[in-house]
Amino acid sequence: MGIVTDSDDEQRQRWIAQTLERLSHSQFRAKFVLSDKDRAYARSKGKAVIDRHAHEMLRDRVGAAEPKNDGRQTPWRGHPVFTAQHATATCCRGCIEKWHHIAQGRALTDDEIDRLSNLVMAWIERDLIHHPVQ
């Protein structure tokens, strides 16, 4: 009999659930919700487009070893990914280091960007589920 191990997807889903749970205990992180406008935008664009935006924004805004204006580069509103970045502590390299234990001073790997983007998308999807279309 072989050793039973979790699939990569199960591990990823467990990490996302545990991380969202941990973030929910932060008064600052827990206060974020999408605006009605951002929810409508996310629903109209669809998951694939928002996921692409999440990857692009994470890569462009926090992916470098020393991002431009680090700590101030992620707007508070204007796109669902921006709000989700603040809610998931993926808004700057300091928050990424503190919450996700990814050291500053080096570029994020593609795998790290994928992992953080998956977290952002899970947060957005959860917000959309908790706020159904009226």
For residue 2, tell me if it sits in a domain: no
Q: Is the pLDDT of residue 2 over 60?
A: no
Task: Using pLDDT thresholds of 50, 70 and 90, give the confidence band for residue 79.
Answer: very high
For 31-35, 68-72, 94-98, which range has the lowest pLDDT when averaged over its residues?
A: 68-72
Residue 109 CB contacts under 8 Å (≥ 6 apart), including other chains:
none
- The whole-number pLDDT of residue 65 equals 94
How is 29-53 classified by DSSP, letter by letter? HHT----HHHHHHHHHH-HHHHHHH
- The whole-number pLDDT of residue 1 equals 47
Residue 115, SS3? helix
- Where would I find the H helices in the chain? 8-24, 27-30, 36-45, 47-62, 80-87, 93-100, 110-130
Question: Residue 53's domain spans which residues?
Answer: 8-130
For residue 1, tell me if it sits in a domain: no
Tell me if 118 sits within 8 A of 21, measured CB to CB: no
Mean pLDDT across 78-98: 97
What is the count of structural domains for the chain? 1
For residue 104, tell me if it sits in a domain: yes
Q: How many CA atoms lie within 13 A of 39 on its CB side?
A: 15
